[in-house]
Amino acid sequence: MKTTSKAPSKKISNVEEKLLASAGELLARYGPKAISNREIANHAGVNHGQIHHYFGSQRELLKKAITKLAVEHWQRTNIEGYQPLGLGIDKTYITAIIRCAIDGDLDLATIELDQGLSVPRKITKEFYKDNLENIDKIEAKSRMAMIMSSEIAWALLEPYLIITLEIKDKEKDKVKNRIIEFISNFFNPSSHS
């Protein structure tokens, strides 16, 4: 497994950056099956021929776009420590992964695994190692699955949850903070032993 947590050595052009950002946003919004080269290019404000010029194909663009999101997520997590980033700053990344999984494109959805950039795997291993006396691997994996489920649900369903639960604008941050507090408790072995 190779680790690609560094930015590429080649400086990328403004057009490449726009295409990567647009592809990431559209992956999160619609999934890989529902977007076209023209749609990505229009969203980026460039000619659709630029996709072939810079990436060779839409598939390569999508791989690089989701890898870029994964690297950014990995770097933020390593700088800031684990936080449920799907509840905020990394919502695009989380929803892009889920849309890929929903479309059945597990190669794109799991690209972080191939790149050695899986935050859930890293956290689960660290949690298990740190709590070896109090917890088994199944428990560690189960807790991470619950955490991921909460983040995914919020990332995908935030507008629905806000309406359904009548969460007012002034309450939104408090609700998110409470969810983060709840998720953090899953890392405390004594809370569920």
Taking alpha carbons only, the member of 96, 91, 193 closest to residue 135 is 193
* Single-letter code of the amino acid located at 16: E
Q: Which residue has the tokens 């969810």?
A: 179
Burial of residue 22 (CB within 10 Å: 0-12, 13-18, 19+) is buried
Q: Is there a contact between 114 and 67 (Cβ–Cβ < 8 Å)?
A: no
Task: Render each residue's pLDDT in the chain as its tens digit; 193 residues.
Answer: 344 444 444 677 899 999 999 999 999 999 999 999 999 999 999 999 999 999 999 999 999 999 999 998 888 877 655 555 555 678 889 899 999 999 999 999 999 998 888 888 887 787 777 777 777 788 878 888 888 888 888 888 888 999 999 999 999 889 988 887 887 776 665 544 4
Contact call for residues 96 and 67 (beta carbons, < 8 A)? no
| Total count of residues recorded for the chain | 193
Distance CA(54)–CA(131), nearest Å, equals: 47
Residue 3: the pLDDT is 42
The answer to whether residues 146 and 33 touch, using CB atoms and an 8 Å cutoff, is no
The candidate with the shortest Cα–Cα distance to 66, out of 167, 145, 142, 103, is 103
Domains of the chain: 14-191 (1.10.357.10)
Give the pTM. 0.77
Q: How far is CA 149 from CA 52, 65, 94, 104, in A?
A: 36, 23, 11, 18
pLDDT of residue 1: 38
CA distance 81 to 83: 6
C-alpha radius of gyration, the chain, whole number:
18
